Amino acid sequence: MTLFFKFNFNLLCQKILDEVLTDQGINYKVIAFGEIEVLEKLSKQRQQELQQALEAYHIEVVENQKSILVQKIKDTIIDMVFNEDTTVNVKSSVYLADALGHSYGYLSNLFSEVTYTSIEHFIILQKIEHAKQLIIKEDLSLTEIAFRLNYSSVAHLSTQFKNTTGITPSAFQRIIAKRREFNQNNN
């Protein structure tokens, strides 16, 4: 039997961080997604114990200032793309500049310098990943998915989807439908 799951990345990460920090007995305050203020001084040993506990979930503490800002850029993009409550009707460049308090040019150059890819490419990857999840978990048309992901048209979504995955979203929908049918017939 195959089960399909729907989950919220932000809530999942917050829950994991809450559990690990509570288990470690660390007093903290959530500032933003991926950003926590520790309300006490941690010894080197406690910092290492925390890092080891987080490694089990593939979460790491970022210490380099450039890496911290790049992670904030990624977190902001993921929130912008995946969060149903924040339907963004402005350009992503304006959204990122406003959210992070830096010019888009600076953010773009820094992101490219650290990750060797562009912010635009990262946004496309996140949008296509979200589109795949919507196709798998929701009963939405491609028009509804394109609208939800702020594409100008289904053709634009389809082009980016095919360029990223190698198949069209319609073909992906057929594959998922056949997989569901196969699983239902075998269970």
Tens-digit pLDDT profile for residues 95-136: 999 999 999 999 999 999 989 999 999 999 999 999 999 998
DSSP state of 93: H
Give the mean pLDDT of 157-162. 95
**Going by C-beta distance under 8 Å and a sequence separation of 6 or more, which residues neighbour residue 39?**
27, 28, 29
Alpha carbons 136 and 92: distance in angstroms, whole number: 25
| Domains with residue ranges and CATH for the chain | 1-61 (no CATH), 64-117 (no CATH), 121-187 (1.10.10.60)
- Report pTM: 0.69
